[in-house]
Amino acid sequence: MRSLLQVIALQEFSNQSDMVKLGLHTYIRSLKCDAMLDDRAKLLLKTLVDRYIADGQPVGSRTLSQTAGLELSPATIRNVMADLENLGLIASPHTSAGRIPTARGYRLFVDTMLTADPAHLSVSMPTLALPPEQPQKVIANAANMLSSLSQFVGVVMSPRRGSVFRHIEFLRLSEKRVLVIIVSPEGDVQNRVLFTETDFDQSQLVEAANYLNAHYSGLALEQVSVRLKDEVESLRSEIAALMQAAIAASTEAMHEHEQDVVIAGERNLLSVSDFSTDMSQLRRAFDLFEQKTTLMRLLDESSQAAGVHIYIGGESQVVPVEELSVVSAPYSVDGTVVGTLGVIGPVRMPYQRMVEIVDITSRLVSNALSQR
């Protein structure tokens, strides 16, 4: 039986080369551990994780024997649990004889044991409508929908605008200081101050700006940067260096002002029992939502590959809260990825439902924005 992430991947892509773009590196890592477990151990681990997600209580051998559907003695189950513990997949809290899944156990669970009915996904989509209104309205609706359906926190990165420029100017401020003024096709104006190695006079700056406007106006800044590298031999080295620095600074300026994250449902975490005994985790979570910069990095990282991504605890090396997990997926406009959305909640979350919610919402947002 295919895992849930595989089902979503196969729905999104039609050939093997596209599957590689999924970025399922975490899935591949889990296969090594999965290969070390027999079917009995896999079933017991899945049962333990399912039960712990549902109840929030450590799971003992007696409970497993009653719910796993295997005719095994408690002693045999204890031996299997000991093996799972030695592999770092489960752990024993000091206050209980039962076991709980570790981050590694959750990782194996979400990569290889989640299952889904593709028909269920397609049937659910028409009942969740996002009207094709203004982009920010779609984004706000999506964040609220993610929060409402998950009962956790919904986050949506606002769509990236293409970093295309219509006009650029250079203005000499003082010795080796140049102001770059860049105008987008929408008329947005961004400024950046460059510190140059050469002291350019205003006539040189006008020459450089005229060259960029004549040859590259209407192109994405990233394209301009690539083409300038190819044409550097035909330009004076100091002018070429100025142009490259200006394009890099302009790209940074445009991206810096266009991105934002819409967050909905932060207060849902107040009712999560997992945080009731550790307010420091909750405070760090709210710091994450307030500052947004760290969250932006995580969402931007998620947009680099297609498909649903699951970050468990601190394994992303971006989210500084061990007790938070993030389920995210990119969304697109006319086939081009422009942003990311997701759900943030406790590590002990119903991952199958979260993956379905995030996958469906990313499709709905993509459809709504592409219909404008």
| pLDDT value for 15 | 34
Range of the domain at 32: 4-112
Residues 340 and 323 in one domain: yes
Residues 183 and 272 in one domain: no
Distance CA 213, CA 169 (A): 9
Residues 232 and 270 in one domain: no
Residues 269 and 153 in one domain: yes
The 3 state secondary structure assigned to the chain is CCCHHHHHHHHHCCCHHHHHCCCCHHHHHHHHHHHCCCHHHHHHHHHHHHHHHHHCCCECHHHHHHHCCCCCCHHHHHHHHHHHHHCCCEECCCCCCCEEECHHHHHHHHHHCCCCCHHHHHHHHHHCCCCCCCHHHHHHHHHHHHHHHHCCEEEEECCCCCCECCEEEEEEEECCEEEEEEECCCCCEEEEEEECCCCCCHHHHHHHHHHHHHHHCCCEHHHHHHHHHHHHHHCCHHHHHHHHHHHHHHHHHHHHHHCCEEEECHHHHHHCHHHCCCHHHHHHHHHHHHHCHHHHHHHHHHCCCCCCEEEEHHHHCCCCCCCEEEEEEEEEECCEEEEEEEEEEECCCCHHHHHHHHHHHHHHHHHHHHCC
CATH of the domain at 211: 3.30.390
| Alpha-carbon distance values, 346 to 113, 277, 280, 314 (Å) | 19, 13, 14, 12
> pLDDT, tens digit, for every residue of 134-176?
777 888 999 999 999 999 999 999 876 656 778 989 999 999 8
Residues 32 and 173 in one domain: no
Average pLDDT of the residues in 229-250: 75
| pLDDT value for 19 | 31
Average pLDDT of the residues in 295-306: 77
Residues 147 and 190 in one domain: no
Distance CA 134, CA 371 (A): 11
Residue 280 near residue 249, CB atoms below 8 Å: no
Q: Where are the beta strands (DSSP E) in the chain?
A: 90-91, 100-101, 153-157, 167-174, 177-183, 189-195, 261-264, 309-312, 324-333, 336-346
Residues 141 and 186 in one domain: no
Domains of the chain: total = 3
| pLDDT value for 161 | 61
Of 220, 236, 258, the one marking the end of a domain is 258
Residues 22 and 103 in one domain: yes
* pLDDT of 109 higher than 70: yes
| pLDDT value for 130 | 64
Within 13 A of 285's CA, how many CA atoms are on the CB side? 27
CATH of the domain at 130: 3.30.450.40
Residue 326 near residue 316, CB atoms below 8 Å: yes
| Alpha-carbon distance values, 249 to 177, 253, 325 (Å) | 13, 6, 34
Distance CA 302, CA 38 (A): 32
CATH of the domain at 42: 1.10.10.10
Of 225, 258, 291, the one marking the end of a domain is 258
> pLDDT, tens digit, for every residue of 21-63?
333 444 545 555 666 788 889 999 999 999 999 998 999 888 8
Residues 126 and 268 in one domain: yes
Residues 207 and 77 in one domain: no
Residues 238 and 196 in one domain: yes
Of 235, 258, 281, the one marking the end of a domain is 258
Residues 263 and 252 in one domain: no
Spatial strand order in the sheet of 177-183: 167-174, 177-183, 189-195
Distance CA 168, CA 59 (A): 64
147-151, 201-205, 214-218, 314-318, range with the lowest pLDDT: 314-318
pLDDT higher for 221 or 29? 221
**Mean pLDDT over the full length of the chain:** 79
